[in-house]
């Protein structure tokens, strides 16, 4: 191929990358939440998940964890775009369901609705399996702080940063770049995260999806969350990588608790 077509393809790829909104945790983040959750399932719930998804629970859940990001690009699922996040006005983590989540079309509304569908044994297995895939994904989403971020910059998508000489937006940094561990498999990565003690209050795992949403917003509301000048320093990583990993850990444990409660009845 000549140089000119290569340049055109490169430019097109760059433009598409700029135009596309970032998703929640990248594939690794969602797989970590699913992997951690799979380790805390009740035996009967594990069996039901394997029946619905058709594979060993840990593998099936990890595979299912990214499905909703792919599905929203299909015509049949275009309506699910807003289910992945909720926006707040800058500096205000007060949640107003009517204003911020009309018709339950936001991340915590989607968790609530899909959990109800998953627990309805009168529905077809196909419908319940779809709901399970949504629940696995959206519980991961709501624990990514910028999925409960500020409206003015679209949850960090419009805030540009530099990390290790690489340009990105703040949302992409939190999706993948901050938590990336090269040459570490998902299970090993989950082991590293779950070895760290959780800094949480009593009863934290029983909180509702609205509580998880506000928790994420409060991370974004920290005075040091937006890096000064856009440069991601080592001090920023030292501060926020443990927070990101705690959110992944919390997401996994809460997903397991939610599935045990919903499917164990």
Question: Is the residue at 251 inside a domain?
Answer: yes
Given a contact cutoff of 8 angstroms between Cβ atoms, the answer to whether 252 and 35 are in contact is yes
Q: Averaged over 166-171, what is the pLDDT?
A: 96
Q: Averaged over 81-90, what is the pLDDT?
A: 98
Question: Is the residue at 192 inside a domain?
Answer: yes
- Is the pLDDT score of 13 beyond 70? no
Count of domains observed in the chain: 1
Question: Is the residue at 4 inside a domain?
Answer: no
Could you give the CA distance from residue 48 to residue 56 in angstroms, rounded to a whole number?
Answer: 11
Question: Is the residue at 5 inside a domain?
Answer: no
Q: Averaged over 187-208, what is the pLDDT?
A: 85
Question: Is the residue at 157 inside a domain?
Answer: yes
Q: Averaged over 21-34, what is the pLDDT?
A: 82
**Portion of the chain with pLDDT greater than 70, in percent:** 89
pTM above 0.85, yes or no: yes
Q: Share the mean pLDDT of the chain.
A: 91
pLDDT band at 201 (very low <50, low <70, confident <90, very high): confident
pLDDT at 149: 99
Question: Is the residue at 178 inside a domain?
Answer: yes
Q: Averaged over 73-99, what is the pLDDT?
A: 97
Question: Is the residue at 224 inside a domain?
Answer: yes
Question: Is the residue at 136 inside a domain?
Answer: yes
pLDDT at 23: 54
Domain range for residue 191? 22-263
CATH number for position 96: 1.10.575.10
């Amino acid at each position: 191929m000549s140089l000119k077509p290569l340049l055109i393809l490169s430019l097109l790829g760059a433009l598409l990358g700029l135009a596309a909104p970032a998703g929640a945790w990248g594939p690794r983040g969602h797989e970590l939440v699913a992997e951690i959750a799979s380790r805390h399932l009740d035996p009967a719930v594990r069996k039901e998940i394997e029946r619905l998804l058709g594979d060993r629970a840990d593998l099936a859940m990890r595979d299912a964890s990214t499905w909703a990001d792919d599905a929203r690009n299909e015509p049949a699922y275009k309506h699910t775009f807003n289910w992945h996040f909720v926006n707040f006005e800058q500096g205000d983590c007060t949640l107003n369901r009517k204003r911020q989540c009309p018709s339950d079309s936001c991340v915590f509304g989607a968790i609530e609705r899909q959990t109800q569908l998953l627990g309805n044994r009168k529905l077809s297995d196909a419908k319940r399996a779809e709901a399970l895939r949504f629940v696995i994904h959206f519980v991961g989403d709501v624990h990514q702080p910028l999925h409960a971020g500020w409206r003015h910059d679209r949850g960090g998508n419009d805030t540009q940063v530099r990390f290790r000489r690489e340009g990105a937006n703040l949302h992409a940094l939190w999706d993948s770049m901050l938590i990336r561990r090269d040459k570490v498999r998902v299970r090993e990565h989950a082991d590293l995260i779950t070895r760290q003690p959780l800094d949480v209050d009593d009863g934290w795992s029983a909180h509702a999806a609205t509580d998880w949403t506000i928790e994420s917003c409060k991370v974004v509301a920290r005075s040091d969350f937006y890096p000064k000048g856009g440069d991601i320093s080592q001090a920023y990583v030292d501060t926020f990588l443990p927070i990101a990993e705690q959110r992944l850990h919390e997401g996994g444990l809460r997903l397991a608790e939610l599935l045990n409660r919903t499917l164990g009845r």
